[in-house]
Copies of this chain bind each other. A is one copy, B any other.
Amino acid sequence: MGRNLQAGGTRDRLLAAAAQVFASKGFRRATVREIVAAAGVNLNAVNYHFRDKQGLYHAVLEAGHKNVQEDDDLAVARDPGADPQARLHAFVMALLTRALSAEHRPHQARIMMLEMAEPTGALDVVVERHIRPRFELLVEIIAGIIPGPPDRQTLALCAESVVGQCVHLVHARPILSRILPFLTYSRADIERLAGHVTRFSLSALRNMCANGGGAA
């Protein structure tokens, strides 16, 4: 008795549902049954299309995210001719928006966090396809801001300082909501946070070389 009355192919519906469930529960806690129920497909569809649960997970990671070059949010950040500090702000804003705003369903971001907490072996593909390209873009932006010679290692650490501030705001959300009562993670809050991170980082970057080498 075909219950699969919906239009879209089983495979796609499965991918979409899986992205949702994996993002909200992580690989382990997510159950195949919940996914197929959400997708409205038969239990064995995952077996048939993706071999097993892990296969489905990998497929989600592979297909889930747009390439950096195609990411509209990063348009300004990618523009070599734009003002470096505008590029930085665009980058930060894109990162936070994508991870925090409700409209952009923070699937990929959460999956990545969960993946770091409990690696399932799928980290490699995520790093190479999603993280590294963005990292390189950020390094390039920072190189345009930081004064003096572009020491690769310093650039990298500064880039991670920027990224760290952002992802912390995402990952530690349940904690920050307790510690910083004024934070509601509204759209306005996101912009305020992006503004802070950009300001903080710009201030730091512009003075890095002066302090270079000498510890605190």
Contacts and interface: CB of A to CB of B under 8 A. Distances in A.
A178 interface: yes
A211 B204 contact: no
Contact of A89 (B118, B163, B215): B215
A186 interface: no
Interface stretch (A14-22, A57-65, A67-75, A191-199): A191-199
A187 interface: no
Contacts of A206: 203, 207
A25 B118 contact: yes
A90 to B, nearest CB: 8
Total copies of this chain within the assembly: 4
A168 B167 contact: yes
A153 B192 CA distance: 11
Given A127-B178, A199-B215, A216-B86, A118 B26 contact: yes
A85 interface: yes
Nearest to A113: B117
25 contacts: A28-B28, A114-B117, A114-B118, A117-B117, A119-B174, A123-B174, A124-B178, A127-B179, A131-B175, A131-B179, A132-B179, A156-B179, A157-B196, A158-B200, A160-B165, A161-B197, A161-B200, A164-B164, A164-B169, A165-B165, A165-B168, A195-B216, A200-B204, A201-B204, A203-B203
